[in-house]
Amino acid sequence: MRLLATTNGGLESVTSAELAELVGADPERHHRGVVALEGTRDDVHDLHVRSRTCHRLLEVLVDGRVAKLEDVYRLTRRVDLAGHLPEEPFGVVGTRHGDHGFTSMDVAERVGQAVIDGYREATGERLPVDLDDPTVRLEAYLYDDRFTLAVDLTGDSLHRRPYRECEHDAPLRATLAYSLLRVAGYGADDRLVDPMAGSATIPIEAALAATDRPPRPDLDPALAALPRYDPVRFRRRRATHEPRSPSLDVEARERRAKWLRCARVNVEAAGLEGVVDVVEADAREATLAADCVVTNLPFGVRTAEDLRELYGAFADRVREGSVDRLVALTTRPDLLPLAVEERYDVPYGRLDVSVVVAEP
């Protein structure tokens, strides 16, 4: 069956590589922040246990070309709606890009009407609509003339990790943190240092990945409500998944006492006490020796001059030290005085950020 996986825009290639590694898929970019792949129901189960870059997984119900709004209704009516959907409240989220004479709300409304009409024709029942907290969420994407309708299998986004008990002022999305580690080629044998770790999202994601622990052990995925899925099988697969326990060398450094405390709370919540070291250090001064340095540089120290000074001193420590690979997330790659080998531009909330692979 055809699946979609949603992820951080700009990092679709990183998610594709993860999906290939986890379930042998050969994904392609569907549009920004979304990749498409072929997979089985057990692939869906396994990805909900192990994927660290995906936000949601969806099953495609329609993927076709449309010339006018009514085609959205017509294509949705062709779906075996009673076979795919339970008799539970549903909602449609519409996303539209391109030149159309109607809005994404119009797309969502026509899909919703087709679902109600098709389900009633098949079962005699009228499906209730709940736009605020639906049991079944449908995503309707219209990109130019390509219309894709998919049912959400995940529910609560996978990027919300349960170890985040202490929230940083500028927290990094955990899926993005893990993507930076993949870009750096981090593996369990590597010594990893995040010199400006804040609440330790990057070191925690590294240690969870290296030990193959499920990132969302608490997840109760939306697929449990769908007729073609089996929540018992999902839970069984999750219960039989075996983490590894290699010895790791992962360090979270931070200058401020407040964030050092926060990092320790999260490391403990992740069950990684004694695995991730939380160390007080100033990145402008502390020497660096690591296979991988992966960090989320501060975006907004008061002025560009402060950032220039911080980035400059950090780059000096990188050059003087022994660092094999360096990956940094920043809004100001121009202020980092290191040669950039590779760069991914990622819209992040209202900010444009870049993932840079720099030559140490």
Ligand X SMILES: C[S@@+](CC[C@H](N)C(=O)[O-])C[C@H]1O[C@@H](n2cnc3c(N)ncnc32)[C@H](O)[C@@H]1O
CB of 213 to ligand X, least distance (A): 18
Please identify which residue in the block is written with the tokens 């990805």.
47
Give whichever of 225 and 279 is closer to ligand X, judged by the CB atom: 279
CA distance 293 to 46: 30
**Chain centre to alpha carbon of residue 160:** 9
CA distance 297 to 282: 13
Q: Which of 123, 97, 128, 98 is nearest to 112 (CA)?
A: 128
CA distance 350 to 243: 37
Give whichever of 50 and 173 is closer to ligand X, judged by the CB atom: 173
Give whichever of 45 and 325 is closer to ligand X, judged by the CB atom: 325
Residue 129's SS3 state is strand
Give whichever of 241 and 255 is closer to ligand X, judged by the CB atom: 255
CB of 157 to ligand X, least distance (A): 16
Torsion of Cα atoms, 286 then 291 then 292 then 298, to 10°: 10
CB of 231 to ligand X, least distance (A): 32
CB of 247 to ligand X, least distance (A): 24
CB of 196 to ligand X, least distance (A): 3
What H or E segment, with its residue span, contains residue 120? Answer: helix 104-123
Give whichever of 255 and 332 is closer to ligand X, judged by the CB atom: 255
CB of 343 to ligand X, least distance (A): 18
Give whichever of 224 and 269 is closer to ligand X, judged by the CB atom: 269
CB of 18 to ligand X, least distance (A): 20
Residue 260's SS3 state is helix
CB of 268 to ligand X, least distance (A): 15
First-to-last CA distance in the chain? 44
Please identify which residue in the block is written with the tokens 């109607």.
102
Q: Tell me, what DSSP letter sits at residue 344?
A: E
- Determine the residue with CB nearest ligand X: 198
CB of 58 to ligand X, least distance (A): 27
E-strand stretches of the chain: 2-6, 28-31, 34-38, 56-65, 90-97, 136-143, 146-152, 191-194, 249-254, 276-280, 289-296, 322-330, 340-348, 351-358
Amino acid letter at 224? A
Give whichever of 171 and 187 is closer to ligand X, judged by the CB atom: 171
Give whichever of 199 and 354 is closer to ligand X, judged by the CB atom: 199
CA distance 335 to 300: 12
Amino acid letter at 233? R
Residues of the shown chain interacting with ligand X in the complex, contacts defined by CB under 6 A? 168, 170-172, 196, 198-199, 201-202, 254-256, 259, 282-284, 296, 298, 310
What is each CA distance from 273 to 250, 256, 269, 293, in whole angstroms? 11, 20, 9, 21
Give whichever of 53 and 296 is closer to ligand X, judged by the CB atom: 296
